[in-house]
Chain A
Amino acid sequence: MHDDDHHDVLARRAAAGDSAALDALLRDHIALVHAVCRRILGNPDDALDATQEALLSIARKIGSFDGRAKFSTWVYRVATNAALDEARRRGRRPVPTESLPEPGASTHGPATDAAIADRLDVDAALARLTPEYRAAVALRDLVGMDYAEIADVLGIPAGTVRSRISRGRAALADLLGNRETPSEHPTG
């Protein structure tokens, strides 16, 4: 069975009060829900708060999921809204909170260090964008939604989605030094 169909079945069971089905759904989606929140908020603590809010919201509102959209689309819509709400609540721009370990002091392997460095780069690059721009990037590059789905989730035209994704990627590409003269990017 296709993942979406499988999740739709689980969603119906969860809506009928099947806790095991709800737990299975959350287990399948929590990693990406957290990743989306993390990408939008750029801060691990805020991301955890938003993830918790998103999961609670999914669990409480599963009864209202009508099956018209794919379950995954509904889940990431809830997650995106939770993250954007959290960003508005905090009223602050995301800042990378993890610091690179001192040379020679690393307790991680080289691969982990590289991953942390990459994440810092990503967070730093995306910090130049507003949460709404980051949401489009997250839904495209993390979740894999097409432009039309993202437009539907965010309630914006597909052309705007394209522009936001482009700017997110360009910001990171600029930071990584692929362009000698970085262009101006919206900062909110």
Chain B
Amino acid sequence: MNDDTSPFEPEELDELLSAELDGELDAAARDLGLSAAEVSARRRSTPGADERRAALAAARDMLSDPAEIDELLAARLRTKAVRAGEEAHASRRGDRSRRRRQVLAAAGGVAAAIAAVVAIAAGMNATKSGTSAERAKSALASPAAPKPTTAATGARPGPAPALGPFSDVHALALSAVSRANAVSSATSSKRVGTTGGTGAAATLLPADAAAPLQDNPAAGSTTKAANSTFGRAETLCPSPPQLRGGGTLVLATTATLSGKPVVVLVFTGNGEHTVVVDDTNCRLVNLQMFG
């Protein structure tokens, strides 16, 4: 403990005495780094400390005497304030209603936006399907794809070859003939059908359409249309010289031969099937005939 009993400086004394009047002496002493005993000792050694305390107490009493306000004036100020409060309350209520309306409007807007997004998404999906078809079409038309088939059939093309992958060209030709026969027997109607499942591109020319155009006038329009359709394939990948003027295209499809895409054309004529395998540049890869 510090034995310092030196008198307080005037301002120090005022602060301690004033704090004492307010019951805050301990906190004040603590802030000054003094204990209660030290404060007492030093206060006793400060001349006029008690008189100063009385003067500060008198000042405090005077300071606690409020200036009065005229009753009428007070009533006027109050009335004005209450009116302002009512206006503010009405304004707040209006704001709340406005906010509620805004929230409702915003919610409606969000709902509308969601509906619009859903509609757009649905539209885009529909467009995408169309676009996918177009893209697939152009993919098949690209060098890496069997464009003659697509161009020839206009059927739904796909990334997978219709006949699947083969490493042996003979097996591929047999598969093509088998497919041509299967589709031929399944398609007895006079129409151009498509086969091959998803992404497959295999087209069968109906049997009666297989006859030479000039020999089958009754089926002329269908045959003409079919030949016109396949003609494109033939134009892109013209039939080999040995088939020109004879044989009718009955199946145009695709396959992969030793990892390379190929176009497979099956012609029929004179009771025989001729299978032509072209690469994507219409270069003849293989030609086989089956009786």
Which residues of A are at the interface with B, using a C-beta cutoff of 8 A? 14, 17, 19, 22-23, 26-27, 30-32, 34-35, 38-39, 44, 47-48, 51-52, 55-56, 58-63, 115, 118-119, 121-122, 125, 137-138, 140-142, 146-147, 158-159, 162-163, 165-173, 176, 178-179, 183
A115 to B56, CA, bound (A): 19
**Please, which residues of chain A bring their CB within 8 A of the CB of B69?**
30-31, 34-35, 48, 51
Residue B72 at the chain A interface, CB threshold 8 Å: no
Q: Verify B10–A183 contact, CB threshold 8 A.
A: yes
**Please, which residues of chain B bring their CB within 8 A of the CB of A166?**
11, 14-15, 17-19, 56
14 A/B residue pairs, CB under 8 Å, sorted by A: A30-B74, A31-B69, A34-B67, A38-B66, A39-B63, A48-B77, A56-B80, A138-B63, A142-B64, A159-B31, A166-B56, A167-B14, A168-B59, A173-B59
Residue B3 at the chain A interface, CB threshold 8 Å: no
**Please, which residues of chain A bring their CB within 8 A of the CB of B10?**
179, 183
Q: Verify B77–A52 contact, CB threshold 8 A.
A: yes
Give the dominant DSSP class at A's interface. Answer: helix
Q: Verify A31–B59 contact, CB threshold 8 A.
A: no
Q: Verify B81–A162 contact, CB threshold 8 A.
A: no
A60 to B83, CA, bound (A): 9
Partner of A122, one of B27, B31, B62: B62
A26 to B60, CA, bound (A): 26
**Please, which residues of chain B bring their CB within 8 A of the CB of A168?**
59, 63
CB distance from A18 to the nearest CB of B (A): 9
Residue B37 at the chain A interface, CB threshold 8 Å: no
A58 to B81, CA, bound (A): 8
Which residues of B are at the interface with A, using a C-beta cutoff of 8 A? 10-11, 14-15, 17-19, 22, 24, 27-28, 31, 51-52, 54-56, 58-60, 62-69, 73-74, 77-78, 80-82, 84-86, 88-89, 92-93
Given known A55-B81, A178-B55, contact A119–B67 (CB-CB < 8 A) = yes
A65 to B71, CA, bound (A): 27
Give the dominant DSSP class at B's interface. Answer: helix
**Please, which residues of chain B bring their CB within 8 A of the CB of A147?**
22, 24, 27
CB distance from B18 to the nearest CB of A (A): 4
Given known A31-B74, A47-B67, A169-B60, contact A55–B80 (CB-CB < 8 A) = yes
Chain A residue nearest in CB terms to B67: A38
Given known A22-B85, A34-B67, contact A17–B78 (CB-CB < 8 A) = no
CB distance from B291 to the nearest CB of A (A): 99
**Please, which residues of chain A bring their CB within 8 A of the CB of B60?**
141, 169
A38 to B24, CA, bound (A): 26
Q: Verify B82–A176 contact, CB threshold 8 A.
A: no
**Please, which residues of chain A bring their CB within 8 A of the CB of B86?**
17, 19
Chain B residue nearest in CB terms to A26: B78
Partner of B84, one of A47, A56, A122: A56
Q: Verify A31–B89 contact, CB threshold 8 A.
A: no
Partner of B68, one of A31, A39, A59, A122: A31
**Please, which residues of chain B bring their CB within 8 A of the CB of A23?**
78, 82
Q: Verify B66–A35 contact, CB threshold 8 A.
A: yes
Given A59-B85, A167-B14, 8 more contacts at CB 8 Å? A17-B93, A19-B85, A44-B67, A119-B65, A122-B63, A141-B64, A169-B56, A172-B62
A9 to B285, CA, bound (A): 98
**Please, which residues of chain B bring their CB within 8 A of the CB of A173?**
52, 55-56, 58-59
